[in-house]
Chain A
Amino acid sequence: MTVATSAVTAFILLNAVILMVTYVTLLERKFAARMQSRIGPFYVGPRGLLQPIADALKLMMKEDVVPTAADRGVYNLAPIVFLVPCLLIFATIPFAPGLGLADLNIGVLFFLAVSSLEIVGLFMGGWGSNNKYALLSAMRAVNQIISYDLPLIFAALVPVVLAGSLQMSAIVAAQQGLWFVAYPIIGQLAFLAFLVATLAAENRVPFDILEAESELVAGFRVEYSGMKFALIQLGEYAHMIGSSFLGALLFLGGWLGPGPEWLGPLWFMLKAVLIFLLVTWVRWSFVRIRVDQILAVSWKLLLPATLLILLGTAFWVAARGSGGGV
């Protein structure tokens, strides 16, 4: 690809991602509402379909407030530092064989590494706000995300080992026969561990101790309003949907599905939305657990478990003899 086509593709992808992310918020709100015996947004547009647009316009029109004692540079830069990695991860996701911005041959590594960079933006937001609640939340967030990155990486490595490559399209191609989630025991356990670790890396209930509305009122983003808040929301949901795409790619066979080739991206979307809905279902069903319990789950349960699963997968692949060396 030339620079020009790359730039155009990137522009189209960016707009598509942002549009998708805003509508994913509506999907979550309607889904959550039905689970709570009510209807979600209903009045803006036909059955609420224009609600995300209305929210975006409202946030754009809001006044930009900066607390007096805030560290201005850090405070203003934090939403951008938070958002950019969350959007950058979409560059490596191929939506169909050959349809993607950059199908790197270290795709999974790039995705996981870049998505962890959001923690820098998060901490900048907590520090720059000059607010004890925000600082407390940022400290908890650093703790939690660092603890859960390791199990996430190990769980994501299981499909890599099974496919023998870090390139995302190669991983999907290796699932032609059987999706990785269907592999006996290691597939299901790895998928489960991936989901749990993603929940924690996303700061979603039951691991959302960092925002904990009832204690810290919004965590590190408590002092943000208007467009900066919109950027942070965008980043969070982009990370969420990006991880769903990754999960669909790694475990659920990506664009593989019955029917003609051109249905591939649609299957891919469907699987990613299913993972997203599963995560949302969990979110709206449970109370959260305390930060020390979250860390205990990570270090005492999830990390040893994912290590064992990875080790088991490696032994199995070696015994099978196929799947080449990584």
Chain B
Amino acid sequence: MAVTAARTVVEVGYGGNERLMMNMGPQHPSAHGVFRAILTLEGETVVAVDAVIGYLHRCHEKLAETLTYVQYPSIASKTDYVAAMTAELAYVSSVEKVGAIEVPKRAQWLRVIVAELQRIASHCLWLGTWCMDMGGALGGGATIFLYCLREREAILDLFESLTGARLLYGFHQIGGVRYDIPAGWAAHARQTVAHIERRLDEYEALLEGNAFFEARTRGVGVISRDLALEVGIAGPLLRGSGVGFDVRRAEPYSSYENFPFTVPTETAGDCHARYRVRMVEFRQSIAIVRQALDGLPEGAISSRPGVKSVGQVRVAKGEGYARVEGARGEVGCYLVSDGGPKPYRLKWRGASFSNLAVLPHIIPGHKVADVVAIMGSVDPVFGEVDR
């Protein structure tokens, strides 16, 4: 059955003049960024949701037209600033695809390592902020938030010793990567992922079977399989609703075909299912990082000489779309090139932009308190949404 309306309205029953329009405004502790949700409430039940976005629009696509292929990768990390490595990877992948530029094996494996480490870091942030939304900044949620950030800081330390920056890296460039791993980094990385694996066991013990957590997440925010396929969401949301689609498996990029890993799928479609999917993804990412560190090939880290001038990279005329599996879903870039040093047109497919479209369909019928639980499990980052 096709979904024809842009949103769903659930009639609760006691009529028009008992309704309250409440603005869960752009400034809100759990809007995950700047997001305006205009809730229509009857008592505590949400009847309809109107989503308003655009508060973080920074003209990325126009910037891409004015900046060259050398300059833009470090800007690309600012779309999904929480998982910057995968955002940069999407951009450079699309340029390399349109320009038929080779990437050496070592660079591909390094890209895999950092992408998976970034996925772990992003999911740490997701778990922390989601629990904080559900538990309060002055309560158990803040405790789990600080624990998760403690682990994320360990990964950011790894990235800092690799690139020099903690959040926005500029690690990828056209034809390869900018930095090679320093001495001792591989051992440090293994230590870090082992530490995170142990801590993950602790967090699972804290949350699994916890009656409060289960009461807040089971049966809440159910995305049916049909709705998921109709609206076009991706990532853990899709996999939590029974569709086992992962870009790393469907269209392997950057040597992912060399890494065996399972794609976690759950059928329930509620917040708990998405939580389970991401928890399994944590461990799968740790396994991939270990495999990649074990088998890292020797060689160059870039197929093009080091950057000496701003217009160095020219891409042949053509257009193409490349996508990667970001932490939130499918991140892609559609590039139209006219042969010069700058793109003619760049279109970002932001994972969170498509994921947010499902909110007006699944929130109505739930209580106000569920709105934050659902938004947290969708895990939007507004850099991707508004670009």
State yes or no: do A and B touch (Cβ within 8 Å): yes
Whether B140 lies near A206 (C-beta < 8 A) is yes
B344 proximal to A (CB < 8 A): no
* With A136-B368, A293-B215: A288-B136 Cβ-Cβ less than 8 Å: yes
Most buried by B among A35, A38, A286, A289: A286
Whether A287 lies near B135 (C-beta < 8 A) is yes
* With A36-B142, A37-B150, A290-B370: A132-B22 Cβ-Cβ less than 8 Å: yes
Whether B146 lies near A37 (C-beta < 8 A) is yes
Whether B212 lies near A288 (C-beta < 8 A) is yes
Within 8 Å by CB of A213, from B29, B44, B146, lies B29
Whether B143 lies near A285 (C-beta < 8 A) is yes
Whether A287 lies near B134 (C-beta < 8 A) is yes
Whether B22 lies near A290 (C-beta < 8 A) is no
Within 8 Å by CB of B369, from A132, A212, A286, lies A212
Tell me the nearest residue of chain A to B144, going by C-beta: A287
Whether A132 lies near B137 (C-beta < 8 A) is no
* With A287-B134, A288-B134: A215-B369 Cβ-Cβ less than 8 Å: yes
Q: Which residues of A contact B138 (CB under 8 A)?
A: 205, 208, 211, 213, 283
Q: Which residues of B contact A38 (CB under 8 A)?
A: 146
Q: Which residues of A contact B100 (CB under 8 A)?
A: none
A38, B210: Cα distance in complex, Å = 25
B147 proximal to A (CB < 8 A): yes
**Shortest distance in angstroms between A162's beta carbon and chain B's nearest beta carbon?**
31
A251, B146: Cα distance in complex, Å = 35
Tell me the nearest residue of chain A to B370, going by C-beta: A290
Within 8 Å by CB of A283, from B132, B133, B139, lies B139
B213 proximal to A (CB < 8 A): yes
B365 proximal to A (CB < 8 A): no
Q: Which residues of B contact A140 (CB under 8 A)?
A: 44
B196 proximal to A (CB < 8 A): no
Q: Which residues of A contact B367 (CB under 8 A)?
A: 290-292
Q: Which residues of B contact A5 (CB under 8 A)?
A: none
Whether B135 lies near A205 (C-beta < 8 A) is yes
Q: Which residues of A contact B137 (CB under 8 A)?
A: 213-214
A133 proximal to B (CB < 8 A): yes
Within 8 Å by CB of A287, from B28, B213, B370, lies B213
Whether A287 lies near B372 (C-beta < 8 A) is no
**Shortest distance in angstroms between A193's beta carbon and chain B's nearest beta carbon?**
17
A66 proximal to B (CB < 8 A): no
A205, B367: Cα distance in complex, Å = 18
Whether A287 lies near B131 (C-beta < 8 A) is yes
Most buried by B among A36, A38, A211: A36
Within 8 Å by CB of A215, from B142, B210, B368, lies B368
Whether B143 lies near A36 (C-beta < 8 A) is yes
* With A214-B30, A215-B30, A288-B212: A36-B146 Cβ-Cβ less than 8 Å: yes
Most buried by A among B134, B136, B140, B141: B136
Most buried by B among A140, A214, A283: A214
A140, B134: Cα distance in complex, Å = 17
Tell me the nearest residue of chain B to A28, going by C-beta: B138
A214, B141: Cα distance in complex, Å = 10
Whether B146 lies near A289 (C-beta < 8 A) is no
Q: Which residues of A contact B140 (CB under 8 A)?
A: 205-206, 283-288
Whether B212 lies near A206 (C-beta < 8 A) is yes
A217 proximal to B (CB < 8 A): yes
B190 proximal to A (CB < 8 A): no
How many B residues have CB within 8 A of the partner chain? 34
Within 8 A of A (CB), among B191-246: 210, 212-213, 215-216
* With A132-B22, A292-B44: A284-B142 Cβ-Cβ less than 8 Å: yes
A206, B30: Cα distance in complex, Å = 18
B277 proximal to A (CB < 8 A): no
B56 proximal to A (CB < 8 A): no
**Shortest distance in angstroms between B91's beta carbon and chain A's nearest beta carbon?**
33
B359 proximal to A (CB < 8 A): no
A209 proximal to B (CB < 8 A): yes
Within 8 Å by CB of A289, from B215, B368, B372, lies B215
Whether A287 lies near B139 (C-beta < 8 A) is yes
Q: Which residues of A contact B324 (CB under 8 A)?
A: none
Whether A214 lies near B213 (C-beta < 8 A) is no
Tell me the nearest residue of chain A to B146, going by C-beta: A36
* With A35-B143, A292-B44: A214-B136 Cβ-Cβ less than 8 Å: yes
**Shortest distance in angstroms between A279's beta carbon and chain B's nearest beta carbon?**
12
| A 267-303 binary contact with B (CB < 8 Å = 1; else 0) | 0000000000000000111111111110000000000
B114 proximal to A (CB < 8 A): no
B20 proximal to A (CB < 8 A): yes
Tell me the nearest residue of chain A to B31, going by C-beta: A214
Q: Which residues of A contact B141 (CB under 8 A)?
A: 214, 287-288
A149, B22: Cα distance in complex, Å = 30
Within 8 A of A (CB), among B336-387: 367-372
A206, B369: Cα distance in complex, Å = 13
Whether B146 lies near A209 (C-beta < 8 A) is no
Within 8 A of B (CB), among A191-208: 205-206, 208
Q: Which residues of A contact B150 (CB under 8 A)?
A: 37
Tell me the nearest residue of chain B to A282, going by C-beta: B140
Q: Which residues of A contact B135 (CB under 8 A)?
A: 205, 214, 286-288
A140, B43: Cα distance in complex, Å = 10
Q: Which residues of B contact A206 (CB under 8 A)?
A: 139-140, 212
Q: Which residues of A contact B30 (CB under 8 A)?
A: 214-215
Q: Which 9 A-B pairs have the closest CB atoms?
A: A287-B135, A205-B139, A214-B30, A286-B140, A214-B133, A36-B146, A287-B134, A290-B369, A213-B137
Q: A287-B134, A291-B369 are in contact. List 9 more A-B contacts (CB 8 A).
A: A36-B146, A206-B139, A211-B136, A214-B132, A214-B137, A283-B139, A286-B210, A288-B135, A293-B215
Chain A residues packing against B (C-beta within 8 Å): 32, 35-38, 132-133, 136, 140, 205-206, 208-209, 211-215, 217, 283-293
Chain B residues packing against A (C-beta within 8 Å): 20, 22, 28-30, 44, 131-144, 146-147, 150, 210, 212-213, 215-216, 367-372
27 A-B residue pairs with Cβ-Cβ distance under 8 Å, sorted by A, are A32-B143, A35-B143, A38-B146, A133-B22, A140-B44, A205-B140, A206-B212, A208-B136, A208-B138, A213-B29, A213-B136, A217-B29, A283-B139, A285-B143, A286-B135, A286-B139, A286-B212, A287-B131, A287-B140, A287-B213, A289-B212, A289-B215, A290-B215, A290-B367, A291-B44, A292-B44, A293-B215
